[in-house]
Structure 1
Amino acid sequence: MTACGTDYLNKEWLSRSYILVYSFFVYFFPLFAIIYSYFFIVQAVAAHEKNMRDQAKKMNVASLRSSEAAQTSAECKLAKIALMTISLWFFAWTPYLVINYAGIFEGKKISPLATIWSSLFAKANAVYNPIVYGISH
C-alpha cells in the first residue's frame, strides 16, 4: 500500500497491533482528552457565570453585562462551540477508524474510494476546525 495511511490489508500481528495502538493514541485518547478538557472548561465558565449572577444580585442590578451581551450567556456559547468541535472531530475521524478496523478484522470488503474519502475527510479536520472557531467567535 503506497497511500498516506495505515496498512490494514496486511494480516500479520505486527500490522494489526500497530493499528490497534495507533487507534488508541490517534483516536480514543484525543477524543477523551477533548471531551475531558471541554467538560472542565464549560464547568469553569458556568461557575464564573453563577458568581457573576450572585454579584449582580448583591449589587441590586439585573445583570453585570450590557444588554447586548446578556442575551446569550458565555456558558451557552461555549457549550455550543464545545459540542460543535467534539462532533466535528468525531465525525471526521470515525470513518477512518471504521475503515481501518474493518480491514484488520476482515469485517467487510473495503473499496479504495471509501479508503480515500475517509482519509481525506479525517485529515481535512485540520482545515475546517479553524473555520468553525472563526465563525463561532
Structure 2
Amino acid sequence: HLDLAGDGTSKVAPARGAQAAPHGTNPTPQDVEQMRSNVRDVKVQLIEDRVKAYVVFDVHGKDMTLQLEGRLGTQNGYLRFDPVSGQIGSLPIPQSTLQSAMQRLMDSPENREKLKLPSDISDLRIENGEVVASYK
C-alpha cells in the first residue's frame, strides 16, 4: 500500500481496527503488525545528507505524529539509520532513547533480512537530497 509520489513524499493507505501493545511489555510480532496497520500517513523528505520521516498513526482513536530525522548508511551489507532527532507530537525524544530504539529495531531478527542490501550494492547514502547507491 505504499504510493511513492513524484514530490519526494510517500503515502501509506489508511487501515483500521488494531490496538497498541499493552504498556510494560515487549511487542509481539502481532502487536507490531497491528501498529503498522494503524499508520495513516507517511511522508519522507530527503534533505542534504539526511532523511526526514513524518508518520501519522492512530492510537486508541486519536491521531499521533512521529517525526524522525537521521542519516542513512550501510554497515556490513545492511542498511543503517542513524537518528539525529525525533519527536512524538510536540515532545522531543532524547537522543539516547532514539539510538537504543533504532539499535533494537535494526538488530531484530524480523527486520534484519529486510534491511539487507542487494548483493550488487556496496553502499547506500543520501547526498544533496538524493539517494546515491554504490555498486560492487
Which bin holds the TM-score, normalised by the shorter protein?
A: under 0.3
Higher helix share: 1
Instruction: Using structure 2 for the length normalisation, give the TM-score.
Output: 0.18
Which of the pair has more CA radius of gyration? 1
Greater relative contact order (Cα < 8 A, sep 6+): 1
